[in-house]
Amino acid sequence: MTITCQEILKNHQPLWQEATVHPFLEGCKQGTITPEQFNTWLVQDYQFVVEFTRMLARILSVAPLHHFDVLLGGLIALKDELNWFQVKAAERNLSLDVAKQRTCEEYSQFLANLARTPYAVQATGLWAVELAYNQGWQLPGPMPEPYTEFADRWGNPGFTDYVKLLEQQADEMLSNASPEVQKEAEQTVITVAQFEKAFWQMAFNAT
C-alpha cells in the first residue's frame, strides 16, 4: 500500500497543527510579539535557511533529472531569500553572525542527516519543511505591519504553488518506494513537525 504526503498529514494532524499554529505567529498577527522574540526568530531562521540551502543542494545532487526544474527554482529563490534576510537584519541593526541556539543547531543537523536517506525520504522532508513555512505564515490570515512582508514571502500563492509541486515530486517517489522507505518518510514529516513547533517556541521564549 502506497502512502501519500496528504495521508501522512492526515495521520498526524494534531502534531502538524502544533507545527503551523503557534502563539508566536498569533502574536505577530495581534501585534503583541516583542522585538526580542521576533529578532530571535529572524536571526536564527537565517542560520536555518543557510543550512536548508545546503540541504537542497544535496538533494539536487541525487534527484532525477525531471525534478531539476522545480528544485533549481527553489535554489534560485533561496539566493534571494538569504539576501533579503540580510537586508531585514540590517534594518533592525542585528548581527547575523551569531551562534545557533540549541533548537536551530539540532534542526540543522537533522537536515544534514537527510543526505543519508533515500531520495524519496529527502523529497518528502523538503516538502514538509516548505509546507510548514507556507502554512505557518498563511493560516493566521493577513498580518499587520511590520510583519506583512514576512507573511507575504511564505504565504503568497506562488510559494503555495511551489509547495504543491514539491508534494507531487514526493508522492511520485513514495509511490515506488518500499514500505520501509515510506515509513521512514512518514517519520521524517513527524520530526519536521516537532522541530517546527520547537523553533517557534524557541523564539517565543526569548526575553
Active site annotation includes 36: no
Q: Is the dihedral of CA 172, 177, 179, 180 positive or negative?
A: negative
CB 162 within 8 A of CB 70: yes
List Cβ neighbours of 38 (8 Å cut-off, separation of 6 or more).
28, 147, 203
45 is in an annotated binding site: yes
Q: Scan for cell 537565517, then name that residue.
A: 46
Cis before residue 146, ω within 30 degrees of 0? Answer: yes
Q: Is 99 exposed, middle or buried (0-12, 13-18, 19+ CB in 10 A)?
A: exposed
As to burial, measured by CB atoms within 10 angstroms (0-12 exposed, 13-18 middle, 19+ buried), residue 156 is middle
The DSSP element (H or E) to which 3 belongs, if any, is: none
Q: Per the annotation, does 18 bind a ligand? A: no
Q: Is 180 annotated as belonging to a binding site?
A: no
Asked if 169 and 81 touch (Cβ cutoff 8 Å), the reply is no
Choose, from 51, 167, 186, 196, the residue flagged as catalytic: 196
Annotated binding site: 45, 81, 130
Catalytic residue numbers? 196
Could you tell me which residues are annotated as the binding site for substrate? 45, 81, 130
